[in-house]
Amino acid sequence: MEIIPAIDIIDGACVRLTQGDYGRKKIYDQNPLDIARRYEDAGCRRLHLVDLDGAKAGRVINHQVLQQIARQTSLIVDFGGGIGSRQDLDLVFDSGAAMVTGGSIAVRDREQFLSWLDHYGPDKIILGADARNGKVSVSGWTEDSQLEVTDFILSYLELGIRQVISTDIAVDGMMTGPSLALYKRILESARLSGREISLIASGGVSREQDLEDLVHLGVTGVIIGKALYEQTITLERLSTWI
């Protein structure tokens, strides 16, 4: 299982939200590059970078943060938040992202998202499938769709998506453990459909036992954010998992 630290950006600073609520924001550091370098020094190879300003606005905003991290570290960056057009996509790749995560666009403009998948391939295009009460959420989690998250994922697996990042918004930032039931349901549904999936769990991880539980479940990666800032999982301890 790949360990993927997360950096979420608002106004150029490293922040964490609680359950996706922009009104419940905590700033942890004003310099994302310093945080990224700490993760790199700890042995991490990949970074999940989220433009929360962009996710809310529907267009990429913090691409300069991406560019700085991509140019000054060796981290493999997957970038999400606000990628709503081909112009946004090209900007993100030109700024140094190795992969992009599309969530809102995959709900609102299926045709365009599939054109990205066809052009760049499943190694570079990740499906973002974040859910509240089982329904896919969009626009930086400020809006809920009527799409059931497992059905949503399966529909894209049938069309060539292989990498999926999924967050249960109810546990994100709560430090109460990941949504094992959600991930089990997704993995079982994919297996029954005969489709391959690389499922990355995100949200709620707060201790090493959570990592053990996710390994046992069979996810291929886990995104860790608040637990690293709050040091309930330290970088020193995390190095044993990398």
Determine the average pLDDT of the residues in 184-210: 95
CATH number, position 39: 3.20.20.70
Element (H, E) at 222: strand 221-224
pLDDT band at 149 (very low <50, low <70, confident <90, very high): very high
pLDDT for the residue numbered 178 = 94
| Position with higher pLDDT, 139 vs 26 | 26
The mean pLDDT value for 41-69 works out to: 96
Domain count along the chain: 1
Check residue 242 and give its pLDDT. 83
Which is catalytic among the residues 51, 130, 168, 172? 130
Query: Is residue 36 pLDDT above 70, yes or no?
Result: yes
Q: What proportion of the chain, given as a percentage, has pLDDT over 70?
A: 100
Mean pLDDT for 14-30 is 89
Catalytic residue status for 130: yes
What pLDDT, in 10s, does the model give residues 83-131?
999 999 999 999 999 999 999 999 999 999 999 999 999 999 999 999 9
Out of 8, 51, 53, 172, pick the active-site residue: 8
Dump the DSSP string for 46-103. Answer: EEEEEEHHHHHHTS---HHHHHHHHHHS--EEEEES---SHHHHHHHHHTT-SEEEES
pLDDT number for residue 210 = 96
Average pLDDT over the chain reads 94
| Domain range for 100 | 2-238
User: Given this model, what pLDDT does residue 217 score?
Assistant: 96
Distance CA 81, CA 83 (A): 6
For residue 8, indicate whether it is catalytic: yes
Q: In this predicted structure, what is the pLDDT of residue 174?
A: 67
State the pLDDT confidence band at 144, using cuts at 50, 70 and 90: confident
pLDDT for residue 18 is more than 90: no
pLDDT band of residue 240 (cuts 50, 70, 90) is confident
Convert 121-143 to b/e letters by CB count within 10 Å (16 or more is b).
ebebbbbbbbbbeeebbbbbbee
